[in-house]
Amino acid sequence: MVKVRGAISGNHPLSEQLIQAILDFKYGRNSKDRVKELFQKELSELIQLQEQLGFARVSTGALGIEDVLRPFTRTLGSLKSYEVIGDLPINRYHYTNTFYRQPKLVSKFPDDASVYKSDKNGLSDDNVLALNHLKNRESRIVVPGPVTFTKLIDNSENVYPSEQEQILETAKYLSKEISSLPENFKEIQFDEPVLAWKNISRSYRESIRDAYTTLKSAAKSRDLIINTYFESSENVVPFLLDLPVDGVGVDLVNTNLLSITDYSFDKKILQAGILDSQNYKPNVDGSLDTSDTKLYSRLTQALVELEPKELILSSNTGLDYLPREIADAKLRQLGEIIKESEE
Amino acid sequence: MSNLDIDFLTHEVGSLRKPNAFIKAGRNQKLTDADFDEFKGFLSLVGETEVSEELKNLFTRVGPETANDKDLHNELAKWRVWYNVKYKESSGIDLIDAGEWIRREMYQHIVDNDVVSGIKMLQHVRSFDYNFYKVGVNTSPIQYDRSKSIHVQEFKWASEVATKPLKVCVTSFNTVAEWSLKGKNNFDDLMFDFIDEVFVPETIKLLDAGVNWIQMDEPALTTHPKHVDTFVDGWNYWVDKISGHLKPDTVLGLHNCFSDYNLLWPILPDMKNLGAITLEFANRDTWKLGTDDESRVAFAEHKQVLKNLYDTGFKAKAALGVLPVHTDHETSPELIRDRLLYIQSFIDDPKLVLAAPDCGLRQRSLEVSHKVLKNMSKGAELAKKELE
């Protein structure tokens, strides 16, 4: 019997109330204490929601973290201007209307892990991992994968002689960061959307394989999942399945299910991004229309027939592109889909 | 109207931060003495010292009890536009846009009003850092009330005080479709619904009202590479529909920013009547002075393709951003000069080279924006002197 569970697969949005508090703070209309108070409440509620829905490994949804690179941009000494982030250029995160500050790599990655130990969340001023909320809970974290990390930053200083070498060095550095994570982080999702966006040449594939061998070695018994999204994963799935990782994430909003049914998932966790993080079907009042829950539960049954080691249902990536109410409604729908598919 | 056919024409691109007094008045909050003092600080930027009696009278009437006083808020809206124009003119720039201080946000302005229906506004989502915008979802067919207009009144108010040429910035159809959650619709159909139902009649109203330069704001243009060709179809379809209302010197401009320009260059020659491009470059450039490739790295990356484009007859005016908008770091006139001269080195004709910020300066304080816009005007003058 294939175990099916739900998960948050990326950044989760802030509530309207917290956003208003942030804007009020930004424009001098209230204190940061109000922001901190709401942040703690909101994070607590998000974790409770996951527990209510039976998500076995909970996530902070990177709540309040400005962009996927920000903990590194802010804290990693190898990235230029990490103390004056406001001067860094703004770059569009592909396929979205969301942007990130692009750091420049100016020196080799350090030998020690520093970011997850010392970076502070901009909204809480607490450690970025929010361990006070996660203690004693099996947890998961989303980390930019070495290929995507390499592609997103400015490499014009040529710190490493080739991109392939930089991918390997990034993996070595990230392996130290993930080794530094507390024991309760049982699952690490490496986001590698770039692998679905671009054709990956054979020579790169070797470097990527070596990079993930390094990462898996550091992850030890933690499950390591590599996730792709915003384009069809069809062409890259066989390559991903061949990597030394525990699980593979497929964007089923953009990938035809029939295109991956011939592959063998039996030794891997399949993270199925079945819900769209960039759109939803509305009822007349704008709320989420969940009338397709039954259809999704049938899709889930079809995914079970692929006989993966385990099936994680999620949105194709974090729900940060939707308002919080809709995002939470999608998480609840995931819970319903899992229930229905078990009946 | 002054001549727009000048070397290094300067202009602003989009929204600016609003004076707090106007924001509070819009929220029906009583203005305090401190608000009036702060407003005087704003007035000093435009060369005035005192709040006029007429505006003071309007401000003092604002409060919860006048929340539904449409005439009062209409009068205040007019003053917003007037002061926006004065602010820009006082910075020395040549081409002024018609306002945006009566617009809440560029997407919301198009879809959340009493003219357009079909999009239900939702709550905020993140743009970047701790900046957010409201998204909307398509819940019903897109419709436009032809008895009204979204932009014409703003242009008319601006025309009352402008001493320099005016353009109107319009959030364009591709971006509106990209930024709308599609609901049960799809991108292509939603974009063409917007063109047919909203953008064709609205543009005709603007042209018939005397607008001679329309900047179509398309920050989302290359977000989805597969939508780029659809946009070109949409643009040409839109131009065909409005062509009977265009004058020989009407400028239809395109603004795009924070995007993949490698997707943009190939489509530009295919866009009918494209008279100007306004793009973000300074954000990607160095802070070093100089007209060498290394100092002007952002422009150098695209130099050859742009040179080829202009060498083969492309004639649109080009504003490759010379002023970054997401930093308080001050761009000097000399740096702006060097960026303009570098651009001119491959576009050749300085009348085709425009000076503009990367995008709207909304994230900056009014003081910082005014300062850097003045620097931009000075930088353009320095560049002209170099060519003498």
pLDDT digits (tens, 9 = 90+) for B230-277: 999 999 999 999 999 999 999 999 999 988 999 999 999 999 999 999
Instruction: Provide the 3-class DSSP secondary structure of residue B215.
Output: strand
Structure-token pair, residue A207? 């470097």
> Would you state the pLDDT for residue A86?
83
Indicate the pLDDT class of residue B1, thresholds 50, 70 and 90.
very low
Q: What is the DSSP string of A48-109?
A: HHHHHTT-SSB--TTTT--STTHHHHHH-TTBTTTT-GGGSPEEEPTTSS-EEE--BB-SPP
pTM of the prediction?
0.91
pLDDT tens column, A22-54 = 999 998 888 999 999 999 999 999 999 999 999
Instruction: List, for residues A283-333, the tens digit of each pLDDT value.
Output: 989 999 999 999 999 999 999 999 999 999 999 999 999 999 999 999 999
Residues in chain A with CB shorter than 8 Å from the CB of B129 are 66-67, 101
Q: Distance, in angstroms, between B122 CA and closest chain A CA?
A: 7
- Contact assignment for B129 to A280 by CB distance below 8 Å: no
Q: Would the CB atoms of B122 and A96 count as touching at under 8 Å?
A: no
Token pair in block for residue B190: 């939603």
Which position has the token pair 């995914």? A303
Tell me how crowded residue A45 is: count the other CB atoms within 10 A of its CB.
12
B359 in contact with A, Cβ within 8 Å: no
The answer, for B62 touching chain A at a CB cutoff of 8 Å, is no
Verify whether the Cβ–Cβ distance B137 to A282 is below 8 Å. yes
Q: How many CB atoms lie within 10 A of CB A158?
A: 9
Q: Is the pLDDT of residue A343 over 80?
A: no
Give the N- to C-terminal CA distance of chain A in Å, as an integer. Answer: 13
All structural domains of chain B with their residue ranges = 80-387
Query: Tens digit of pLDDT for each residue in B312-345?
Result: 999 999 999 999 998 889 999 999 999 999 999 9
* pLDDT, tens only, A170-205: 999 999 999 999 999 999 999 999 999 888 888 899
Whether pLDDT at B2 is above 60: no
CB contact under 8 A, B181 and A22: no
The confidence score (pLDDT) of residue A83 equals: 63
| Among A241, A222, A279, A249, residue whose Cα is nearest residue A148 | A249
Matching CATH number, B80-387, of 3.20.20.210, 1.10.4160.10, 3.50.50.60, 3.40.47.10? 3.20.20.210
B14 to chain A, closest Cα gap in Å: 17
Q: Is A326 in Cβ contact with B124 (below 8 Å)?
A: no
Task: State which residue of chain A sits closest to B282, comparing Cα positions.
Answer: A89
Share of chain B above pLDDT 90, in %: 94
Contact: A98, B127; criterion CB under 8 Å: yes
- Phi, then psi, of B133 in degrees rounded to 5: -140, 160
Average model confidence (pLDDT) across chain B: 95
Whether B29 contacts chain A with CB within 8 A: no
Comparing alpha-carbon positions, the chain B residue that sits nearest to A281 is B183
